[in-house]
Amino acid sequence: MSSQRPSAVPASVVDLVGFAAYSELAEFGLLATRSVDAPDLDTRQALADGAERAIERERAMLAVVGGPRAAVMAPFADTLTEFDARTRTDDWAEGLLKGVVGHGVAQDFCRTLAAAIEDPVGRRLREVLDRPVPGPAAVAEAGADAEAIEVLGRLGAADEVLASRLALWGRRVVGEALNLVTVLLATHPGLDDLASRAPAALGADIGDGGSRAWIVARLTAEHTRRMDRLQLAA
């Protein structure tokens, strides 16, 4: 990684990479914390592997823009601190679902905005965001948080009461995550600029609500699919 930010990378792209990388560092923390107090050794190992992969993705993203890592991410540290505080929980499974939902929304948000970034930087960023998970096809399809999704799906299938509670918790977390997305777009003109160009880049019709409303609707739909994979009601 060079010590200088390449001047060819627009500020909006640095913003997006900063947020994307910081959300990987946050996901590392959520997975690692749940690894430490996991109920058994297999789960502990699976979540540790997932946490390790989050750091690998973070490093790969930061390499796309180069520059001092903390400087690129620092503008987003406070934003996530508030999300974190508003979704604090002492429950193990809720903490894990918070990671899956929050990180899932963050990844979908970054994928959508990355569509508006021209190649080769856009392509490299999309490659990191879509990087396949090592393992069987079912795991690869589950994406970045495959291990956590597998653990939560298994817990929910075995305990109907827990599944209901997690479904409710998932709605709370996604509400906070979508609120964070709205705040990010309102406070970071670079991200808002990418958001305004993303629909055309994806060949989408944004309708009457403008690009911000379109993105929230898109992220909500992706969240519903993710909760389906977990067999939890969105």
CA-nearest of 73, 70, 76, 59 to 1 is 59
Shortest distance, CB of residue 66 to a second copy, whole angstroms? 16
Q: Is the Cβ–Cβ distance between 215 and 177 less than 8 Å? A: no
63 close to 86: Cβ distance less than 8 angstroms: no
Q: Which CB sits closer to a second copy, 61 or 178? A: 61
DSSP 20-52: HHHHHHHHHHHHHHHHHT-SSHHHHHHHHHHHH
Nearer to a second copy, 56 or 228 (CB): 56
Nearer to a second copy, 139 or 204 (CB): 139
Distance CA 84, CA 98 (A): 9
Q: Are 87 and 100 in contact (CB under 8 A)?
A: no
Q: How many residues does the chain have?
A: 234
Closest approach, Cβ 150 to a second copy, in A, equals 15
Taking the complex as a whole, how short is the minimal distance between the CB of residue 196 and a second copy, in angstroms?
30
Nearer to a second copy, 20 or 198 (CB): 20
Minimum CB distance to a second copy, residue 143 (Å): 19
Measured from the CB atom, is 55 or 233 closer to a second copy?
Answer: 55
Peptide bond into 132 cis (omega under 30): no
Binding residues for a second copy, per CB under 8 A?
A: 25, 28-29, 32-33, 35-36, 41-42, 44-45, 48-49, 51-52, 55-56, 69-70, 73-74, 77
Closest to a second copy by CB, 34 vs 223, is 34
Q: In the bound complex, what is the minimum distance in angstroms from residue 27's beta carbon to a second copy?
A: 11
Q: What are phi and psi of 88, to 5 degrees?
A: -70, 140
The answer to whether 133 and 53 have CB atoms below 8 angstroms apart is yes
Least Å from the CB of residue 85 to a second copy: 13
